[in-house]
Structure 1
């Protein structure tokens, strides 16, 4: 048997601040999903350096998570939007219109493009790492109470 990339796995840790778990899936060296379930997957592990970082972030430590490699398995048009959202700095927020302007090939004057941005935000497979909570008037891929708490962490 040959040694391949790092093992795939599911990692989860309870957050007292969020009153639920932070869970992510990793395949190789890429995070492919982030969620905030009431209960973690039964085969998840709570030992991962990214969980340590997320815990510190939720306790007020600034972290952009820009060095975390994500594996986006979304259509190209959504990927382009989500890559633009990832550029919104910690402690800042933007509107759907501003994200549309930031996204190559989209126009904030086109309703279809604004809708495309909202759809990409709602489909975000890795919220927090791609901080859709920083888009103040758009949908988030996390439950509203989690979105509010993530915004509060960053003073938004």
Structure 2
């Protein structure tokens, strides 16, 4: 059985719950409330209770800090996709191909998956990703170029897009 560990790490956009397994990063979620609530949901999905171990998540949190400081454009983190399957996984893996500082529409991501008409499903996949930032769902925008909701927090998406635009200058 795979062991999992977690930490809560400060970022410029809020506290991030970071969950890592032996296989890689399982979840990175910007918290809306107490980390206990988000951790309880992940515990149920993982069928195991992650242990609190900031040292074990340090390779991930270090790269997150570098990203927010504008010093990292690509993450060198193994991803553990156990919380996503099927088309959601395909869509999120396609999202990972969007270069730093660029955007793609939901339709363009759908085309990249080979499911040309699945733009709404891509939107649902982005909204449900357990791995924020490292899986750059913030780089997926509407066909008209507007940024969309980003899980009800368009201001976080705008922050991330602006961060990447500024670092790319």
> If the TM-score is normalised by the length of the shorter chain, which range does it land in?
0.7 to 0.9
- For 1:26, the equivalent position in structure 2 comes to 20
Pick one of 86, 91, 100 that aligns with 1:76.
86
Are 2:140 and 1:135 aligned?
yes
Structure 2 unaligned blocks of 5 or more: 40-50, 143-147
Are 2:110 and 1:88 aligned?
no
Count of aligned positions: 144
- In structure 2, the residue corresponding to 1:119 is in which secondary structure? helix
- The equivalences for 1:77-156 within 5 A come to 77-104=87-114, 106-107=115-116, 110=117, 113-137=118-142, 140-141=150-151, 143-155=153-165
Structure 1 unaligned blocks of 5 or more: none
- For 2:63, the equivalent position in structure 1 comes to 53
Q: CA RMSD of the aligned region, Å? A: 2.4
Q: CA deviation at 1:22?
A: 1.9
Deviation >3 Å, runs of 4+: 38-47, 138-143
TM-score with structure 1 length normalisation? 0.80
Kindly provide the CA deviation profile for residues 16-65 of structure 1, in whole angstroms up to 9, marking residues without a partner as x.
Answer: x22x2122111213211111115545974444121111011101113311
